Structure 1
Amino acid sequence: MTAYVIAEAKHLDTPEVRRYRELAQASIALYGGRYLVRGALPDALEGDWPDGNRMTVIEFPSLEQAKTWYASPEYEQARATRSDLSGRRMLFIEGLAQQPD
């Protein structure tokens, strides 16, 4: 069943963040993932969205594959380039097996 990784983080454009993006993109592709949304600024019609925070949505073939990517040495290398990861959120969720009636 398809799974999604949804990440929210403060938008920064520093050399370490650019390196993270490069390494993360390569690791995501290596583990069968693909970006559906990358670095978007959501339009919050209900509730609040923190100023300057961006959203990324990545699709994987399965939740197991998404978790394998997250624990991979390739993604660990990407995470190691960043010193500011404590303020971000990353959620892993399964999609629907079929659309509800």
Structure 2
Amino acid sequence: MTAFFVSRIKVNDPTKMQEYAAATGPTIAAHGGKLVLRGASSATLIGDEAKQHMTSVVQFPDLDALNAWFNSPDYQQHARLRDEAGEMQFVSYQAPAA
């Protein structure tokens, strides 16, 4: 079943965020991932204001591929840069939902 990786990021250092995105993009593709959405919110319809965050959604063939990417040395070598770039929340989803 298709899996989705959703990140919500409060960017603290835009330069490091750009470096992180550039460095990790190829690691996603190497595991069959495809960027579906990346950007800031257009409007917050309900709940806390989201303008200070950016969101990305990446589609993977399945949860195994998503987890293999996330746990791969190729991706994890960028953990320090990720942590310096901003405050992040990562969530995985499987579709269709069980």
TM-score of the alignment, normalized to the shorter chain, above 0.5: yes
Q: What is the TM-score with the length of structure 2 in the denominator?
A: 0.84
Residue 18 and residue 85 in structure 1: after superposition, are their counterparts in 2 closer, same or farther (change >3 A)?
Answer: closer
- Aligned counterpart, 1:13: 14
- Once the two structures are TM-superposed, the CA of residue 86 in structure 1 deviates from its matched residue by 7.1
Aligned residues: 96
Normalized per residue, the structure richer in strand is: 2
- Aligned counterpart, 1:90: 90
- The answer to whether the aligner puts 1:2 opposite 2:37 as a matched pair is no
RMSD of aligned C-alpha atoms?
A: 1.9
Cα displacement string for residues 21-70 of structure 1 (whole angstroms, at most 9, x for unaligned residues): 11110100011001110123252212123441011000000011101100
Note the residue ranges of structure 2 that are not aligned, 5 or more in a row: none
Note the residue ranges of structure 1 that are not aligned, 5 or more in a row: none
Residue 32 and residue 79 in structure 1: after superposition, are their counterparts in 2 closer, same or farther (change >3 A)?
Answer: same
